[in-house]
Amino acid sequence: MNEKFHLLGSEAMAVELPQQFTCPYCYEPHPLALMAVERVQQYVATRGDWADELGAGKMLGVLVAKDETGRLGFLAAFSGNLAGSVHHDFFVSPVYDLLDPQGEFKRVEAEITAINHEVERLERSPELAALLKREATARQSMAEETAAFKAIMAEHKLSRDQRRQDPDVTPAELEELLNQSRFEKAELKRIRQRHDEKLREISEEISAFYQRIETLKARRKAMSEALQECIFRLFVVSNARGERRDLVEVFRPLGTLPPAGAGECCAPRLLNYAYNNGLQPVCMAEFWHGASPVGEVRHQGHFYPACRSKCKPILDFMLQGLDVENNPMETATAATDLDVIYDDQWLTVLNKPSGMLSVPGKQLEDSLQTRYQEAFPEAVGPIVVHRLDQETSGHVMFAKDKATHKALQQQFEDHTIKKRYIALLDGIVTKDEGIINLPLMADIEDRPRQRVDFADGKPAVTRYRVLERKDGRTRIALEPLTGRTHQLRVHCSHPLGLNCPIVGDRLYGRAADRLMLHAARIIFIHPATGKPITVESPPDF
């Protein structure tokens, strides 16, 4: 019996199997996955020796599968390592064990570590410190001697100038004064040359010392790059067709080597183990356990999509051969009439439905913009004034000519356009109103997610007011005072913000039928008439 394959109880037999395998980038966990998650949570609760590490935060995952006899069970995995190891009885094996003390990674890592120590030793060595001190002393000596000689030259020059003004000075004396000036200038040059030669000798010794360090660093870089490719050649993953590729081959179409940590997340481990052990995947889910990392938004027990930078290229290969659910984020919204909230000869305000892109994307051409252009062919030039997230509903403004577009864009840049959003939050906000000020920047390892970063993030400020508290949820009005990507979503969900994710937020909270965030009101100055315009529409939640 496979000890990594944990059979589900009889209650699972009453649950209808999903018709398709889970889309890992956008999903709601299937009831069978929830049963498996509960078992994993029960197990980790018994591991007091892991309590501190898991409490600090860890992504865990489950994959429900059938074995060769048709029995239903699940596999469990954790990302990275746990308690200094990637091998634990309850969880599947890694794709490749980077921590194997006899493995290639540890061997080369030890060599690189030795180089690091040698670089540190050289940079901190008494020999280098003595050379740098000699150089500083030589420079100081040069500065002092040249300054002293220049002072003497200045005194002599003053004396010569006075003597030259004497009407009794003879031609021979003038020649002598000129020769003195020439000699002192030459002597100053000889003083500088003497010191320059000494400094050059010291500099050559220092350069030779630094060259040893740079040679080691170059060797270290070459070894690291070679090791990276070598290791990712050892990360070999399978798909449902029985095809196998290493991660270098998987990422080759992107024109890059895999990023650090690729292949060490839950989803690749789970699928790879299932394929290699004759298990038929049914559904899967990844969930967070413990505290949220600094800057990021992760909530205990919430489910999260697979990351795009490290996992998507791998999973796109590994899922080949499985019948996988469509990604709703890459599926066109059903054809419906445009919901026109305001329209005149200069501009239009549309009510965008949740799930529709504002403008065409890489994977999906259908968007509010393309539909607007079909309905309003007279609109020319840049027409989209601003955008909403795909999952956010509400007002999007379109200009019908270039001048109107420019004028409205200027109002956005000047922060004179006022927007009000209505959101339904998963949790109770205790304060009636307030301001959230958390700087944001893109999470480069997991786009399109954003993270809070007080050092490098851009300013992001949101004003909020509670409208209603009911059944463990809060209806709230949000006014963004800046316009950062995912600003409202992060400000609501982050522990330093409201700590209550927007209902249906797949990235920062819990998935639902839709994201309960609606751009409900926009106030602007009409570019043609100069009059203030207020456009409002209530949310459908």
d(CA 361, CA 186): 73
* CB atoms inside a 10 Å sphere around CB 271: 30
Q: Please give the Cα distance from 236 to 245 (Å, whole number).
A: 5
The question of whether 389 is a catalytic residue gets the answer yes
Q: How far is the C-alpha of 214 from the C-alpha of 220, rounded, in Å? A: 10
Between CA 336 and CA 397 the distance in angstroms is: 18
Look up residue 306 and give its two tokens.
């697979």
Report helix, strand or coil for 212.
helix
Pairing type for strands 517-525 and 393-399 reads parallel
CA 513, chain centre distance (Å): 27
- 76 contacts 65 by C-beta, under 8 angstroms: no
d(CA 63, CA 421): 38
Task: Give how far the C-alpha of residue 430 lies from the chain's centroid of Cα atoms, to the nearest Å.
Answer: 31
Q: Is 467 helix (H, G, I), strand (E, B) or coil?
A: strand
Please, what is the Cα angle at 332 between 445 and 370, to 5 degrees?
95
Are 64 and 30 a contacting pair, CB within 8 Å? yes
Q: Which residues, in sequence order, are bridge partners of residue 6?
A: 74
Catalytic residue among 389, 426, 443, 446: 389
Residues annotated as part of the active site: 389
